[in-house]
Amino acid sequence: MIGSMDGEKTVAQPRRPGYGVKLVRGPFVRLPAHELACSDADELLELVPTLTGPLAADLFCGAGGLGLGLEAAGFRVVLGVDVDDEALETHRSLHAGLTVNWDLSDDEVVESVADLVTRAGISLVAGGPPCQPFSKAGRSLMRDLVRTGRRQRHDKRRDLWQSFLRIVALSSPEAVLMENVPDMALDRDMLILRMMVDELENLGYAVEERVVDTWRYGVPQFRQRLILVALRDGIQFRWPDESAERVTVDNAINDLPSVEGGWRPLGGAEGWAPYDRPLTEFQIRARAGIADEDRHKVFDHITRPVRADDAIAFAHMDASTKYSDLDPSLKRYRDDIFDDKYKRLDANDLSRTITAHIAKDGYWYIHPWQDRTLTVREAARLQTFPDRVRFAGPPSAAFRQIGNAVPPLLGERIGSAIREALGLQRRSPVPTRLVAEELANWFRESQPRRIPWLVADERWLVIQAEVLWNRLADDLVPGAWAAIRTLRTPAETLAAGDLLRRLARHWGRERRWEQLRETAEYFEAHPEALTEAAPASALAAAPHVTAATADLAVRIVPGPMEDPVLVTYGVLRVAARFQGEPVDRVNRLSDGRLAVARMIGADDSAHEAHLAVMELANGYCGPGNPECGPCPLESWCIEAGHLPVQSALPFAATSRARTQRRATAL
Question: Which residue, among 490, 497, 451, 457, has the nearest Cα to 471 in the 3D structure?
Answer: 451
Tell how strand 273-274 and strand 97-101 pair up. Answer: unpaired
For residue 587, the model assigns a pLDDT of 67
Domain ranges of the chain: 37-246+410-424, 249-390, 432-636
CA dist 490 and 495 (Å) reads 9
Q: Are 391 and 63 in contact (CB under 8 A)?
A: yes
* Cα–Cα dist 324/529, whole Å: 41
pLDDT at position 145 is 52
pLDDT greater than 50 at residue 303: yes
Question: For 222-278, how does the pLDDT look when each residue is reduced to its tens digit (9 = 90+)?
Answer: 999 999 999 999 999 999 999 999 999 999 999 999 999 999 999 999 999 999 999
CATH of 37-246+410-424, one of 1.25.40.10, 3.40.50.150, 3.20.20.70, 3.60.15.10: 3.40.50.150
- Of 232, 629, 638, 173, give the one whose Cα is nearest residue 427: 232
What pTM does this model have? 0.87
CB atoms within 10 A of CB 317: 18
pLDDT of 394-425, one tens digit each? 999 999 999 999 999 999 999 999 999 999 99
For domain 249-390, which architecture applies? Alpha-Beta Complex (3.90)
The CA-to-CA distance between both ends of the chain, in Å, stands at 59
**Cα angle at 231 between 226 and 232, to 5 degrees?**
145
CA distance 62 to 81: 8
Q: How many helices (H) and strands (E) does the chain have?
A: 26, 10
What pLDDT score was predicted for residue 647? 40
Checking if the pLDDT of 136 tops 60, the result is no
Q: What is the model's pLDDT at position 428? A: 84
| Phi-psi region at 218: left, alpha or beta (left = phi > 0; alpha = psi -120 to 50) | left
225 to 179, 215, 350, 420: CA distances (angstroms): 6, 11, 16, 21
pLDDT average, residue stretch 364-372:
96
**pLDDT over 50 at 14, yes or no:** no
User: Is it the case that residue 492 has pLDDT exceeding 50?
Assistant: yes
C-alpha span between 403 and 398 (Å, rounded): 9
Question: Which of 314, 277, 313, 320 minimizes the C-alpha distance to 295?
Answer: 277
pLDDT at residue 642 tops 70: no
Residue 143 to residue 346: CA distance in whole angstroms: 46
Return all residues near 102 (Cβ < 8 A) that are at least 6 apart.
Answer: 81, 83, 109, 112, 113
pLDDT for 663 beyond 60: no
Complete DSSP assignment for 277-316: ---SHHHHHHTTT--GGGTTEE---------HHHHHHHHT
Cα gap 98→471, rounded to integer Å: 62
Average confidence (pLDDT) over 586-600 = 84
Contact by Cβ (8 Å): 204, 235:
no
On the question of pLDDT at 651 being above 70, the answer is no
Per-residue pLDDT tens over the stretch 185-203: 777 888 888 999 999 999 9
Please write down the HEC assignment for all residues of 607-623: HHHHHHHHHHHHHCCCC
Contact 160/105 with Cβ under 8 angstroms?
yes
Contact, 204 vs 612, CB < 8 A?
A: no
CA 577 – CA 642 distance, rounded (Å):
12
Which one is predicted more confidently, 112 or 360? 112
Handedness of CA 648, 650, 656, 661 (dihedral sign): negative
CB distance 427 to 649 below 8 Å: yes
* Residue 548 three-state SS: helix
> What percentage of the chain carries pLDDT values higher than 90?
71
| Range of lowest pLDDT (154-158, 229-233, 441-445, 571-575) | 154-158
CA dist 413 and 177 (Å) reads 12
The Cα–Cα gap between 664 and 120 comes to 21
**φ/ψ (deg, to 5) at 377:** -65, -40
